[in-house]
Chain A
Amino acid sequence: MTGQMSDETDDRRVLAVDELTKFFPIRKGLWRRHSAVVRAVDRVNLHVDKGETLALVGESGSGKTTLGRMIVRAIEPTSGRVKLRGDDEDWLDLTAAEGDQLRAARRNFHMIFQDPYSSLDPRMTVQDIVLEPLIHNHLARGAVARKRVLETLELVGLSSQHLHRYPHAFSGGQRQRIGIARSLVCDPKLIVCDEAVSALDVSIQAQILNLLKDLQARLGISYLFIAHDLAVVEHIAHRVAVMYVGQLVEQAPTDELFSRPRHPYTEALLSAAPIPEPNRHRERIVLRGEVASPSAPPSGCYFHPRCPYAIDRCRVEAPVWREISPAHHVACHRADELTLTSGWTDPEPHATKVPV
């Protein structure tokens, strides 16, 4: 928990998430009685700095999308706080904001969605799609707004000739550029990218990844990058947080997480991803069973039924989220004694990456 408490005094912070939780009720029977809960997100703490990319990885059902949606307040959390630093350098508690205050805050964060085919209104032209957030947030009108739209389109590699076309006239990669332009037009501090490149072909994916990096270097935007492709995450993220059944199990700087994971689940994830090098022979850890259900999680550590290193303590006692080395957090009883390998990195050292 150390490091999380000083969020408001650290002037690099853009986003701070404290103990954020979302339980969805399960209702059953004639009277829709509240019978159980799905623990979609369970007491998550994280922060994002200015110009930084924090990746959130995990398998389907791990709660990463729910977490992303709570951060942009598309859904209401059950408990916990989301705090964002706006233009005036003051912290705003998003979870408590209402009305005009919330509307004013919304321009600071946007979301890019996975499917560029269903996330754009087919009956709106590109100009209208990109213009809408400006109008909605009362940021600009008329000629000024249109100029801003054009500038933003140019920023993402589109031009004035695209202004009056409809989404169907564009390829998947171009549609994703339109989605990025829409999220950029209000000059946000933070963009939540929910599997933003997962639906794209590899050559197009590379174009979009380069674009996101360029935009970050030029505009100093922060990204919360939700993804399941670990090679993409390694490429784009400064830090990585790993989720399992609604909880964070590990968080560390990218190089450290990929070369020296401290949680057995992270190790298994890294080992399971096939890598495009036929001569790299790795020991593959094939996990038994499936991801636990967030409506009936196992006792103790949620990962213990699949964990190759589980001991009796893991079955009864939930591990505490702790800082095991500077900036490296993990929730595992055995993190200190286990020596885990990723099979991911080469012996040669990486160049150190510093946020812009």
Chain B
Amino acid sequence: MNLLELQDLKTYFFTDEGVVKAVDGVSLSVGEREIVGVIGESGCGKSTMAHSLLRLIVPPGEVVQGSAVLSRKDGGTTDVFSLEPDSAELRSIRGNEISMIFQEPMTSFSPVHTIGFQISEMIGLHTDLKPAEIRDRVLELLARVGISSPEQRYDEYPHQLSGGMRQRAMIAMALGCKPRIVVADEPTTALDVTIQAQILELLKDLQEQEELSAIYITHNLGVVAEYVDRVYVMYLGRVVESASTEQLFEKPLHPYTQKLLRSVPRPGKRVDRLDVIEGSVPTPIGLPPQCGFVSRCPSALEGICDGAVPALTEVEEGHFVRCFLYDEQQEPKDDWADV
């Protein structure tokens, strides 16, 4: 039994210009102590998917379909989407069983409360601990995430901390109630590389020691390659490919994934020109039922790819792709290994 089973999630935004199908039928699972990555470019729906999981979508957005079955700490299971938005049960899940690390730690903390107060408040909501016990727990957490002199930092305000420190405090808060899954939306995008390395190594240690699972939402292929067990590639609101990290980087199947991996400069392998994906992502309003990538795909088959949405099919064990090129189990035309 997986920790989390997301099935056929559809999150739409009902705007004046039309219905934006930001997430259009995404399924995803997270196993015990597994780090799952979701990659894709801006507008592919990866953040909307993450926010949907925590029921953070507000009008004009709406989760119109789907289920997210979570196995609980007490051994039972709950479909997060079946709960009322204000229900006590949802609040007992959020922060306590699934928690989230946001991209911008500056805007995610309240500027008028101390770091210590904000983390304590969250632990107070979810546990019966006494104030003194909560304080001890917060100090322990701050030390755990590598914040020096936690006693002093406890009484400081977010603006007094550097970006890396704030992101650590954010992680301390996300881990405050020992959740089983952490959803990290671009956890290191705003940070410098040396600080990014500190944070990613910290998350890896925590995952190993605290039996934590995680979903990393990112556009950084390097982060995926080094820190993620299994990857979902999203394009225009759908998962176009999913595989183990090794499979995906060694033998990407979907033309989008192949193009994406080739469009980044590779360390130590200099080429004269980078491969580019021509055009740009279409606006997800009123699109006909077709493969989302058809307008930019070099291998698009006329009359097939623009006529229907391909299904996500398992081509090899654990390797799924949503592309008509693999309908009859043909070999990929493109030999990735030679690159």
List A residues at the B interface (Cβ < 8 Å).
59-60, 171-174, 201-207, 209-210, 213, 228, 230-232, 234-235, 258-259, 268-269, 271-279, 284, 286-287, 290-291, 344-346, 350-351, 353
Contacts and interface: CB of A to CB of B under 8 A. Distances in A.
Contact of B41 (A203, A213, A234, A235): A203
Contact of B193 (A258, A269, A278, A351): A269
Contact of B201 (A171, A273, A286): A286
Interface in B245-280: 245-246, 249-250, 259-261, 263-277, 280
Contact of B222 (A60, A206, A235, A275): A275
B265 A235 contact: yes
Contacts of B219: 201-202
Interface string B224-237: 11110000000000
Interface of B: 41-42, 162-165, 192-198, 200-201, 219-227, 245-246, 249-250, 259-261, 263-277, 280
Contact of B259 (A60, A173, A203, A268): A203
Contacts of A201: 41-42, 219
A346 B280 CA distance: 33
| Max chain A Cβ within 10 angstroms of own Cβ: one of B42, B193, B222 | B193
Contacts of A291: 192, 194
B263 A274 contact: no
Contacts of A207: 276
Contact of A276 (B42, B165, B193, B266): B266
Contacts of B226: 274-275, 278
B221 A202 contact: yes
A202 B41 contact: yes
A121 B114 CA distance: 39
A230 B193 CA distance: 10
Contacts of B275: 206
Given A202-B260, A207-B276, A284-B201, A228 B268 contact: no
A232 B265 contact: yes
A210 B42 contact: no
Q: For A202, A286, A344, which residue has the most chain B Cβ atoms within 10 angstroms?
A: A202
B225 A274 contact: yes
Given A210-B274, A272-B196, 20 more contacts: A59-B192, A171-B280, A202-B221, A202-B263, A202-B264, A204-B280, A205-B264, A207-B276, A210-B276, A228-B193, A230-B267, A232-B265, A234-B268, A269-B194, A273-B267, A275-B225, A276-B222, A286-B194, A287-B194, A290-B165
A203 B164 contact: no
Contacts of B269: 346
B220 to A, nearest CB: 7
Given A210-B273, A274-B220, A346-B269, A59 B193 contact: yes
Contacts of B198: 286-287
Contacts of A269: 193-194
Given A59-B192, A276-B221, A213 B273 contact: yes
Nearest to A351: B270
Contacts of B192: 59-60, 228, 291
B280 A268 contact: no
Contact of A274 (B162, B227, B266, B272): B227
Contact of B263 (A206, A213, A284, A344): A206
A172 to B, nearest CB: 8
B195 A231 contact: no
A276 B249 CA distance: 8
Contact of B197 (A173, A231, A284): A284
Given A171-B280, A275-B226, A291-B192, A258 B245 contact: no
Contacts of B266: 231, 275-277
A175 to B, nearest CB: 11
A269 B221 CA distance: 17
Contacts of A235: 265, 270-271, 274
B222 A268 contact: no
A205 B271 CA distance: 15
Nearest to B192: A59
A279 B246 CA distance: 7
B162 A231 contact: no
Contacts of A351: 270
A209 to B, nearest CB: 6
Nearest to B197: A272
14 contacts: A59-B195, A202-B219, A213-B272, A213-B273, A231-B264, A269-B193, A272-B193, A274-B220, A274-B226, A275-B226, A277-B266, A286-B197, A287-B194, A346-B268
Contact of A278 (B220, B249, B268): B249
A173 B280 contact: yes
B265 A231 contact: yes
A268 B193 CA distance: 9
A226 to B, nearest CB: 14
Contacts of A274: 196-197, 200, 220, 222-223, 225-227
Contacts of B193: 59, 228, 230, 269, 272-273
Contacts of B220: 274
Contacts of B222: 231, 273-276
A276 B274 contact: no
Contacts of A234: 265, 267-268, 270
B260 A203 contact: yes
Contacts of A232: 265
B276 A278 contact: no
A276 B193 CA distance: 15
Contacts of A272: 193-194, 196-197
Given A276-B221, A278-B246, A346-B268, A203 B197 contact: no
B73 to A, nearest CB: 32
B194 A59 contact: yes
